[in-house]
Structure 1
Amino acid sequence: AREMGKPLPQGVAEIEKSAWVCEYYAENGENFLQPEHVITDAAKSFIAYQPLGTILAIMPWNFPFWQVFRFAAPALMAGNCGILKHSPNVTGCALEIEKLILEAGFPANVFSTVIVEVTDVEAMIRNERIAAVTLTGSTRAGRSVATIAGSEIKKCVLELGGSDPYIVTDTADIESAAKACITGRFLNAGQSCIAAKRLLVFEKVYEEFKAEFLKLAYDLKVGDPLEEGTFIGPMAREDLREALHTQVNDSVAQGAKPLIGGYIPDGPGFFYPVTVIEESDETSPVCTEEIFGPVAVLVKVRDMQHALEIANSTRYGLGAAVFTGDSSYGESVALNELEAGSCFVNTFVKSDPRLPFGGIKTSGFGRELSLQGIREFVNVKTIYVA
């Protein structure tokens, strides 16, 4: 709350989720890494999973505990060491995480926090003691890290930006869909890679959905993250607010219609009001760029084909959701039509320790969480005994 503006209840939920991922890997990590015996021509052949060494984790500020533990829990359970380079505006969180891991009984230096400048990161990646790198951040940062790691032939996992489309069909439960879209868009002040960036609503139910969505949006309290009832705190930094406002203004200049919000309020703090925009130009900044703040974009679509054309037109591919009264149809769309690493039906996109998490296209590569996550940073070793 103090370092990046997250409302207290959301901060508590983040800590509880971080504990959950630790418990999950404590309970399942050993089984995930058991040798797998394979019948071949050999007298004995099997696959072993062994640690790589020291992993450099470059982490962002928006979920300062969860995103670290999402990496650390499986990596440490696999026998690796971790070095955390956190965002400079959440240094207190970074130091607290190191303290918690030490207090949990891990030996000193198994997990360490370094407080360095961005310009020092390249040298760290190139250091021979670093075996691999994981980054959660922007696509631009991902390109840079991947280029450096690739030149050193080092494994990297990238969880990058997103422009998640949420498709609301004409058979959806409108009230339920609106609630899910409100949470998916405005949780953490919209500062999430898997937030609902584009709401693609069938024209038959567009006005009904818009009215319900606006009603819920009006009720969201923006204010001090330490005060009871606050759902949206200030944005994490002034430059982030300015960039968001520029995206909104540029889109309005191209014809987008602001329904509520869309201005920088007077007073202290990097607050930005709940903003809802109607958009008909699919090439505008709010449709083509990642929107990292409390701005929802409503787009009217004719049918599913039209919705999918817009949904899949982005260079991102992190998450997506579809709302429909026919869950089997929604599952088919999610499985066969939407281009994303995670597709949800009748709820908002979220990460879960039991399920792999990651994206395609410029949203990154590799997976975190679940069985796949713990096996990202291991040597998959083949043993063959003739």
Structure 2
Amino acid sequence: MSKITTINPATEEELESYDVMSEGEAIERVEACHAAFLEWRKLSHEERAPYLKDIAKKLRDHADELSELMTKETGKLLKDGKTEVELCAGIFEYSAEQGPELLADEERTHGPKDKRGVVTYQPIGVIYSIQPWNFPVYQPVRVLAANLMAGNGCVLKHASICTGSALRLRELCIEAGLPEDLFQVVVIDHDTSDKLIEHKLVRGVTMTGSDGAGAHIGSKAANSLKKSVLELGSNDAYLVLEDADIDKAVKFSVMGRLYNNGETCVSAKRFIVTDRVYDVFVDAFVAAMQNITMGDPTDENTQLGPLSSQDQFDTVKEQVEKSVSKGASVLCGGDVPDRTGAYYPATVLADLEPGMPAYDDEIFGPVASIIRAKDDEDAMRLANESRYGLGGGIFSENEEHALELARDHFDTGMVRINSFGAADPNMPFGGVKNSGYGREHGGFGMREFVNAKAIFLPS
């Protein structure tokens, strides 16, 4: 029997080993989840809500423990882990509070005599959730909370490097009172995962990860005529327009590039800077990145911890080296420290062109790409050239102009103006183009995997 061993990326120490399930064992988990769903679906939305609120409380009660586990498994800063747990508690509470109204039956009319019609949002069954390692609790929670409120069950395949976080999350949900089989965690390989997508009891598939993995999983789901929601990679552009407040732009650009050690799908990754403010922004941004304190992720003073694994370190290092070999300039960073752990320094690259990884692709680490634009219009054009379209940002002192650009021109699912942030329970989360399709949060996620059923009454 094969095993998964988790490793602390800061110390390179082995943490735990887990047996990989057989296909039969994984299917048993799906079948158990389906059986639990058949009972769970009988509850009203108002009856489900207290379970979610109890889970929120349980997460808060165990915030320190969960944060420490996430830091050990993925290298995220301990303080960022605590923020993540609080966000997860908020998502459960939001779903509990807003779900009954968002999922309530709607009265409509039909026919020329306005006969009575009812639209009801009914659960469909087991939702298969495939999630990455960068937010070990948040990624599964944003699927779980929405689908529990909708009345579905959930089977989670988490990234192998944070297997412990996945299993502990399930334990805490059960301790909070959730029916034991309604939320399952499967520790499986990719081949078994593909089998689960095809299984008749799996009614929907949701996945967060790279666009390559999304294309594979989305096609597998489509071949089985199952709906999918995909939240994929991105290369988010933050525009520094001609009238930007440079101090503000630098502050949020550093935050946006280094949050979660730079391993965030909606990180600020490309900084498209207009000619008029290029030199002053770049000088200040590079100086700020050079002053970042990298080190132990459990230390409160640390601003940048290690990457999540040696594999991720190797990927980022190769992307930077390829970009430099094609002509990119290193304005700071780029030199790998001689130390234990998957540490990569805060790095700024300039003189970028299409064909370089730092221009075309997502770098999932603390590497900023600087791109010069002629003016505001050119900056918007360059931002939209990307094959991705998850998030982005605009720095401008003319808020109405920024709003117009964000609304009418920015080809992404989310835009931040003069700020940076990752997610909010009350706002939709998702992208366009190669960044995927479907939405989570903001009430949208609760309606992704339901049967919007039309009922026609005769009078």
Same-fold call, TM cutoff 0.5: yes
Letter in 2 for 1:247: Q
Letter in 1 for 2:193: V
Q: 1:222-301, aligned counterparts within 5 Å?
A: 222-301=294-373
Q: Which runs of 5+ in 1 are unaligned?
A: none
Aligned mates of 1:326, 1:135 — CA distance in 2: 37
Match of 2:438 in 1: 366
Q: 1:298-313, aligned counterparts within 5 Å?
A: 298-313=370-385
Match of 2:398 in 1: 326
SS at match of 1:299: strand
2:221 to 149, 165, 179: 149
SS at match of 1:322: strand
1:347 to 419, 424, 434: 419
Letter in 2 for 1:9: K
1:86 to 158, 179, 191: 158
Aligned mates of 1:40, 1:349 — CA distance in 2: 44
Q: Which has the higher helix share?
A: 2
Letter in 1 for 2:98: N
Matched positions, count: 386
Structure 1 runs of 4+ aligned residues shifted over 3 Å read: none
Aligned mates of 2:176, 2:333 — CA distance in 1: 45
Match of 1:19 in 2: 89
Deviations 1:141-175 (A, max 9, x none): 10111111001101110000001000001211110
Deviations 1:259-299 (A, max 9, x none): 11112221210110111111242332101011110101111
SS at match of 2:197: helix
CA RMSD in angstroms comes to 1.1
SS at match of 1:251: helix
Q: Is the 8 A contact 2:352 2:358 kept in 1?
A: no
Aligned mates of 1:230, 1:68 — CA distance in 2: 27
Aligned mates of 1:179, 1:66 — CA distance in 2: 25
> Percent identical across equivalent pairs?
39
Aligned mates of 1:349, 1:320 — CA distance in 2: 11
SS at match of 1:233: coil
| 1:211 and 2:283 correspond | yes
Aligned mates of 1:339, 1:142 — CA distance in 2: 20
Q: Aligned-pair distance for 1:40?
A: 2.4
Deviations 1:299-324 (A, max 9, x none): 12111221122111111010011110
Q: Is the 8 A contact 1:342 1:349 kept in 2?
A: no
Q: Is the 8 A contact 1:321 1:349 kept in 2?
A: no
Match of 2:244 in 1: 172
Letter in 2 for 1:189: N
Q: Is the 8 A contact 2:352 2:369 kept in 1?
A: no
| 1:136 and 2:194 correspond | no
Q: Is the 8 A contact 1:137 1:159 kept in 2?
A: yes
TM-score for both structures, normalised by structure 1: 0.98
| 1:57 and 2:129 correspond | yes
Q: Is the 8 A contact 1:43 1:385 kept in 2?
A: yes
| 1:124 and 2:183 correspond | no
SS at match of 2:419: coil
Aligned mates of 1:335, 1:249 — CA distance in 2: 36
Letter in 1 for 2:355: T
- The farther-off stretch of 73-82 and 346-355 is 346-355
SS at match of 2:244: coil
Q: Aligned-pair distance for 1:218?
A: 2.1
Q: Aligned-pair distance for 1:231?
A: 1.7
Rg bigger for which structure? Answer: 2
